[in-house]
Chains A and B, each alone.
Chain A
């Protein structure tokens, strides 16, 4: 039984660390703000949640101590980190950061024109 528990904890922590590494590579490799935001928000959120779940299981199953703060932190990260990525991407879009040149459609362009005109 303890081997299964150890395996579970190792699996969670390693998967989380791997996902965080993948998102860091994504930030280096992807061409513009929006694709980078896509890589970093999803992948790091899941990576952090996996690491925190590994920690939760470690203290719960090995030390018999249920830490509800970690559960709260998981919910908090899950709620806030996509929203922060959304806000950063939106701020980048409305301050005129151009998407990558391979982009084929820009549904918000009309609205951005209107907003930049009203700002002037």
Chain B
């Protein structure tokens, strides 16, 4: 059946949803948001793509194995926890500080963002794994 309207709107709206997810992710430290909700919003954008196109097209658009994404996310979370042990402080102690970056100038960075990135990747991976395994039931 002809799905021109749905596909055109999906092409525009998916970018808005993904950008909103990224904004939620980076705003998480000071405003409502964070890794969990940003991961769900990003997974929602991919699910919208799955609704408008079929599963094979979406896989060729986003050639990521979501199971590996779960593993990478867990490694990020574990790695930020173990990083504290190198500096003789308890497990999961976070560090922050101001760093001079070449293009962005003075940026305040916190290792909790890396932990949050792990949460983000795990949430995207788990949600998409659930949806895809239900969807490709043969």
Confirm or deny: B99 has a beta carbon within 8 angstroms of a beta carbon on chain A: no
For A72, the chain B residues whose CB sits under 8 A away are 16, 20
Assuming the A-B contacts A72-B16, A76-B16, are A83 and B1 also in contact, with contact meaning beta carbons closer than 8 angstroms in the complex?
no
Query: Are A115 and B1 touching (Cβ within 8 A)?
Result: yes
19 chain-A/chain-B pairs, Cβ below 8 angstroms: A69-B20, A72-B16, A72-B20, A75-B16, A76-B13, A76-B16, A79-B9, A79-B12, A79-B13, A80-B9, A80-B13, A83-B5, A83-B6, A83-B9, A86-B5, A87-B5, A87-B6, A94-B1, A115-B1
For B6, the chain A residues whose CB sits under 8 A away are 83, 87
Kindly provide the distance from the CB of B48 to the nearest chain A CB, expressed in whole angstroms. Answer: 10
Chain B residues within CB distance 8 Å of chain A: 1, 5-6, 9, 12-13, 16, 20
B-side interface mostly: helix
For B20, the chain A residues whose CB sits under 8 A away are 69, 72
- 1/0 per residue, CB under 8 A from B, across A29-57: the answer is 00000000000000000000000000000
How many A-B residue contacts, CB cutoff 8 Å?
A: 19
Chain A residues within CB distance 8 Å of chain B: 69, 72, 75-76, 79-80, 83, 86-87, 94, 115
Complex Cα gap A79–B15 (Å): 13
For B5, the chain A residues whose CB sits under 8 A away are 83, 86-87
A-side interface mostly: helix
Complex Cα gap A69–B21 (Å): 12
For A76, the chain B residues whose CB sits under 8 A away are 13, 16
Kindly provide the distance from the CB of A41 to the nearest chain B CB, expressed in whole angstroms. Answer: 13
The 8 residue pairs across chains A and B that have the minimum distance between CB atoms: A83-B9, A83-B5, A79-B9, A79-B13, A86-B5, A76-B16, A80-B13, A87-B6
Kindly provide the distance from the CB of B33 to the nearest chain A CB, expressed in whole angstroms. Answer: 11
For B9, the chain A residues whose CB sits under 8 A away are 79-80, 83
Kindly provide the distance from the CB of B5 to the nearest chain A CB, expressed in whole angstroms. Answer: 6
Residue of B nearest to A83 (CB): B9
For B13, the chain A residues whose CB sits under 8 A away are 76, 79-80
Kindly provide the distance from the CB of B78 to the nearest chain A CB, expressed in whole angstroms. Answer: 33
Kindly provide the distance from the CB of A118 to the nearest chain B CB, expressed in whole angstroms. Answer: 10
For B1, the chain A residues whose CB sits under 8 A away are 94, 115
Complex Cα gap A94–B3 (Å): 13
Residue of A nearest to B48 (CB): A80
Complex Cα gap A87–B1 (Å): 12
